[in-house]
Amino acid sequence: MVITDILSKNAKLYPSDVALVEVNPEQKVRKNITWKDYELVPSFRDFSPRKEITWQIFEHKANRFANFLIQRGLKKGDRVAILLMNSLEWLPIYFGVLKAGCLVVPLNYRYTTDEIEYCFNFSDASVLIFGSEFISRVEPLVNGRLPKIHTALYVGADCPIYAESYYFVTADCSVEAPNIPLSLEDDAAIYYSSGTTGFPKAILHTHKSLMCACTTENCNHGQTKEDTFLCIPPLYHTGAKMHWFGSFLVGGKGVILRGVSPKWILETVSKENITIVWLLVPWAQDILDSIDSGEVKLSDYKLDQWRLMHIGAQPVPPSLIRRWKEKFPNHLYDTNYGLSESIGPGCVHLGLENIDKVGAIGKAGCGWQTKIVDENNNLVEQGQVGELCVKGDGVMKCYYKDPEATSAVLKDGWLHTGDMAMTDSDGFIYLVDRKKDVIISGGENIYPVQIEDFLRTHNQIKDAAVIGMPSRRLGEIVVAIVELKDGSCVTEEDLLEFCKTLPRYKCPKRIILDKVPRNPTGKIEKPVLRKKYLGDKSLIEHQLED
């Protein structure tokens, strides 16, 4: 079985059941209309705040798009790039590409024109599907800068003249599944890394990887047909979509929320009868802060059915989960760890029954193996820090067109993650930091995550990031960028005093009050901070005298 077979199975077993819902709280109904889920060219499509499709319509839409691609001459193995904000169309298009035997190339919605051009060309894509938010970025590409482009499709109202309307070109295509044989070993998708340095790496995954995401997630969290999953993070990433795959495997409904406001999240959980929510750290913090401030009152919402909140994509401060359990004592909780190279989160997870181990990322997920090694690839002892390695069916095939980078991280089937970790006496893995983020000060290895977790225990701190800066005497010194909660009057001096309970070599030598930048998947953008502050000559000169 490949992942497209699951969609066909769901459509056969549950044709009239709702499969996907899109909720857009910012949209208002501008006319007294009813949007029908089968309508292929809806005139007022963009103006509805809530839309839904059944499993049968999901399957029909995917088949229509697959047949369109085949009619346009695309062959098995051709690439199709998707540049869309989260929407009801995203997943039917994704599955349509797979059903045609083509490779999906999801693109980050933050990409600039140059980055779109690079990723499109590097993946050898020939079709680009884009939404209204990207018209100005795509126009110069279609008009001359993308010689390889075969077709440009537009999803939305008022199609630009340089593209074709997705709705119109698929309207007359067959709803029957195309006869394209697929196997687990076939290439399925090219996902791009977060791109923290230069252009992102292209990560090639097979259908086996996608099936691994389905089975691992369902095994880890036990989704049933009755569960409803709330998807907030971007679908272009291997995060929330892969968590939804656990519900998809058993025909569970998915709700796509376009917005991250605490009120919107709680309102959607309440109205859509959500049972599972996957959050990023900043969103969980915002929900808790809004409760503490009185901005939202939990009694205003129907939340009894919400059984699981889990977090992934970045280290999770234990203090955050302790606060969460105070507000939501009946919630199951899980920490998820993974990389785009391991088809997203789930290769390591805390486990629903291990709330007492919050702070750890957990143990190997269902169908995965883990080990921690030193620089010579030897296993380290319990309690010692080494590089975390994972092995399973979800490991990428390779970095596309980059054998050197592939050989550096793939060794005998093991993916070397670049994350430094250690285990406790019970075998639980604790993430120490990214190998490249380790600060070496006076010969000591300092792991920023530990200091960041400490700083977030301060009741006036919303977020924190720690980076190293040059020091003539010590090599590097610790600098903390701290984002305060709204209304806080804490000073840099107050925070330096707070940090004195840390071991002296770990104490930040400088506190900078500023916003902590995070990418759409929640990771701290430390290269942005380094560029910003390492470019400050007065600051560097000050630190060099340390």
pLDDT in tens, the chain (546 residues): 999 999 999 999 999 999 999 998 877 544 443 344 444 444 444 457 899 999 999 999 999 999 999 999 999 999 999 999 999 999 999 999 999 999 999 998 888 898 899 999 999 999 999 999 999 999 999 888 888 899 999 999 889 999 999 999 999 999 999 999 999 999 999 999 864 445 778 999 999 999 999 999 999 999 999 999 999 988 998 877 899 999 999 999 999 999 889 999 999 999 999 999 998 887 898 899 999 999 999 999 999 999 999 987 666 778 889 999 999 999 999 999 988 999 987 899 999 999 999 989 999 999 999 999 998 999 999 999 899 999 999 999 999 999 999 999 999 999 999 888 999 999 999 987 666 777 877 666 787 888 888 898 898 999 999 988 877 666 778 999 999 988 888 899 999 999 988 878 788 998 999 999 887 666 788 878 888 887 554 444 444 444
The Cα–Cα gap between 450 and 458 comes to 14
pLDDT at 494: 92
For 245, 278, 407, 438, 444, the CA distances from 251, given in Å and listed in that order, are 10, 18, 38, 43, 51
Whether residue 100 lies inside any domain: the answer is yes
Centroid of chain to Cα 148: 29
Encoding tokens for residue 370?
């883990």
Whether residue 13 lies inside any domain: the answer is no
Q: Considering only CA atoms, which of 345, 346, 363 is closest in space to residue 354?
A: 363
Whether residue 221 lies inside any domain: the answer is no
pLDDT at 440: 72
Whether residue 376 lies inside any domain: the answer is yes
Cβ burial, residue 197 (10 Å; 0-12/13-18/19+): exposed
What strands, in cross-sheet order, belong to the sheet with 363-364? 50-54, 18-23, 253-257, 228-231, 276-279, 308-311, 332-339, 344-349, 363-364
**Predicted model pTM:** 0.83
Strand partners, 203: 191, 399
Same domain, residue pair 324 and 427: yes
pLDDT at 531: 81
Same domain, residue pair 430 and 457: no
The Cα–Cα gap between 216 and 365 comes to 7
Last residue of a domain, one of 434, 454, 470: 434
Same domain, residue pair 178 and 53: yes
Same domain, residue pair 366 and 475: no
| C-alpha atoms less than 13 angstroms from C-alpha of 459 in its C-beta half-sphere | 3
Whether residue 252 lies inside any domain: the answer is yes
pLDDT at 540: 44
Whether residue 368 lies inside any domain: the answer is yes
**Which domain, by its residues, includes 111?**
18-182
Same domain, residue pair 126 and 242: no
Whether residue 40 lies inside any domain: the answer is yes
Same domain, residue pair 164 and 232: no
Beta-strand pair 164-165/332-339? unpaired
Same domain, residue pair 341 and 416: yes
Q: 235: how many CB neighbours lie within 10 A of its CB?
A: 21
**How many domains are there within the chain?**
3
- Residue showing tokens 């599972």: 276
Last residue of a domain, one of 147, 182, 217: 182
pLDDT at 459: 87
pLDDT at 397: 98
pLDDT at 435: 67
* Collapsed DSSP state (helix, strand, coil) of residue 86: coil
CATH classification of the domain holding 246: 3.40.50.12780
Same domain, residue pair 466 and 321: no
Q: Considering only CA atoms, which of 70, 62, 81, 67 is closest in space to residue 4?
A: 62
Same domain, residue pair 34 and 111: yes
CATH classification of the domain holding 444: 3.30.300.30
Amino acid code (one letter) for 400: Y
Amino acid code (one letter) for 449: V
Same domain, residue pair 247 and 342: yes
Same domain, residue pair 428 and 449: no
Last residue of a domain, one of 149, 182, 215: 182
Same domain, residue pair 363 and 416: yes
Whether residue 280 lies inside any domain: the answer is yes
